[in-house]
Structures are given as structure tokens and as C-alpha cells.
């Protein structure tokens, strides 16, 4: 009898798990709270209008049809592992052999950090960043801060790339519009050596690049 596996999460981890397990011959049910897989690495182009939101989304029903797994679009509200039972907002899922949890993690609201928009947050936030940038450009001047945090207990737990990429994209957008000099851009990070994971040579190169682009750093 074919074993049934339930995969929770419609991102890269969940979809790749579903495809891999189907190739191994398992019956797979994928549960996602949205009907598309969001390609986060490409989302840095949405705020500067180099790509559209829809172009960063891959319909999950098309992936399900192509790879032969069942798709359920619903929100998971509880997992009862011992009972092999998953509770969603509109149904319960039972009678499975294995459960794969690939839902990722949400963004934390840090103390004394307000009015921020994260390109690594919910997909819709990329649109909010785009709209806010449009407002500032229409205003003609303003201040923008770009940065990322880290975990002092685990220094490797840093994903600074999207912060850098979005900042440089905004710089280029403002320059193309001829209004770069009207905006103050600042890069911030809590660690003494942001970007250190890219190697020792990256730090002086980053300093030089920020100076050339007239981006302040804190």
C-alpha cells in the first residue's frame, strides 16, 4: 500500500519536498496558506518596478498538476503529531503516514523598531515598499534606511543579501529618475562587521562602494 505524506508549506522547501517524494512513489498532499509559490530572491525587483508581483508567483495548482501531488490551499491552525492530525481553518487532515513541516518562520517585531517594511516578510510587503517608494519619489525628497539584523548567539544566522540588493536597486532607481541627490540613504546593521560572511575582502570593498554611492552607514 502506498504511504501518504502530508507536506505543510508552499515555499521552496515544501514544494521541493513534495516533488522529491512524488518521484519516490509516495502519495503526497501539499498544504499551503496561499495558492502560489513566491520566489523571494526575485522580489527585490518589485519595489523598483523592474518586475511585477505576478511574475514572482508560480501557481501551485500548475505545479501540483505537473508533479502529481494533491494541493490544499488552507491555513494550518494546529498540529497534533501523536494523533497524526492536522487542523486547518476549513478542514482536518488525517490518515497520513508521515508529516513534513516546511512552513518557515515569521518576522520578529524587535523592541524599539517601528514603521519598517521587510522585503523578506510576507509577499504583499514588497508591494507596500513599492507604494511607499512611489510616494517618496512623488514628494521629491526624503530619507531611507536599509539594513538587517542578526543573532548575537549565532553569528552565522544572518541573511543580509536582500537588504543590500534592495538598497542598491533603490539607489539605481533614484539615479535613473535624476533625483538621487534629493534623497538621503543610510545603511545600518547591529554587528561591527556586516557582510563578513562573504569573506575578509568584502568589508573594505563594501566601505568603498558605500562611499562612492554616497550612502551613509551606521
Is the confidence at residue 62, as pLDDT, over 70?
Answer: yes
pLDDT, tens digit (0-9, with 9 covering 90-100), for 114-142: 888 999 889 999 999 999 999 999 999 99
Smallest CA-to-CA distance from 14 within 117, 118, 125, 99 is with 99
Per-residue pLDDT, 157: 67
Query: What's the mean pLDDT in 65-79?
Result: 97
- Cα(162)–Cα(147) distance, integer angstroms: 9
Mean pLDDT, residues 192-217? 86
Percent of the chain with pLDDT over 90: 74
- 179 — pLDDT class (breaks 50, 70, 90): very high
CA distances to 143, 158, 193 from 217, in Å: 13, 18, 12
Residue 91, pLDDT > 80, answer: yes
Q: What is the pLDDT of residues 147-163, one digit of tens each?
A: 888 777 776 666 778 88
Q: Which residue has the higher pLDDT, 105 or 165?
A: 165
Query: In angstroms, how far is CA 145 from the centroid of its own chain?
Result: 19
Residue 36 pLDDT more than 70? yes
**Could you tell me if 29 and 72 are in contact, meaning their C-beta atoms sit under 8 angstroms apart?**
yes
Q: In this structure, are residues 125 and 119 in contact, taking their beta carbons and an 8 Å threshold? A: yes
On whether the CB atoms of residues 38 and 11 are closer than 8 A, the answer is yes
Number of neighbours of residue 142 by Cβ within 10 angstroms:
16
Cβ 165 vs Cβ 41: under 8 Å: no
Q: pLDDT category, 27, cuts 50, 70, 90? A: very high
The number of C-alpha atoms within 13 Å of 209 and in the hemisphere containing its C-beta is: 13
Amino acid at each position: 500500500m502506498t504511504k501518504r505524506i502530508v507536506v505543510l508549506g508552499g515555499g521552496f522547501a515544501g514544494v521541493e519536498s513534495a516533488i522529491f517524494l512524488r518521484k519516490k512513489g509516495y502519495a503526497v498532499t501539499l498544504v499551503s496558506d496561499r495558492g502560489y509559490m513566491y520566489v523571494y530572491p526575485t522580489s527585490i525587483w518589485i519595489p523598483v518596478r523592474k518586475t511585477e508581483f505576478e511574475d514572482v508567483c508560480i501557481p501551485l495548482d500548475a505545479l501540483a498538476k505537473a508533479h502529481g501531488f494533491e494541493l490544499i490551499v488552507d491555513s494550518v491552525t494546529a498540529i497534533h503529531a501523536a494523533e497524526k492530525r492536522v487542523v486547518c481553518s476549513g478542514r482536518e487532515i488525517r490518515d497520513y503516514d508521515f508529516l513534513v513541516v516546511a512552513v518557515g518562520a515569521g518576522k520578529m517585531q524587535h523592541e524599539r523598531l517601528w514603521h519598517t517594511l521587510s522585503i523578506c516578510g510576507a509577499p504583499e510587503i514588497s508591494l507596500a515598499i513599492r507604494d511607499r517608494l512611489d510616494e517618496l519619489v512623488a514628494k521629491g525628497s526624503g530619507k531611507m534606511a536599509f539594513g538587517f539584523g542578526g543573532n548575537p548567539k549565532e553569528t552565522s544566522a544572518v541573511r543580509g543579501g536582500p537588504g543590500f540588493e534592495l538598497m542598491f536597486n533603490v539607489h539605481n532607481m533614484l539615479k535613473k529618475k535624476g533625483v538621487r541627490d534629493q534623497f538621503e540613504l543610510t545603511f545600518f546593521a547591529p554587528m561591527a562587521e556586516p557582510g563578513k560572511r562573504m569573506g575578509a575582502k568584502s568589508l573594505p570593498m563594501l566601505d568603498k562602494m558605500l562611499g562612492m554611492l554616497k550612502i551613509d552607514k551606521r
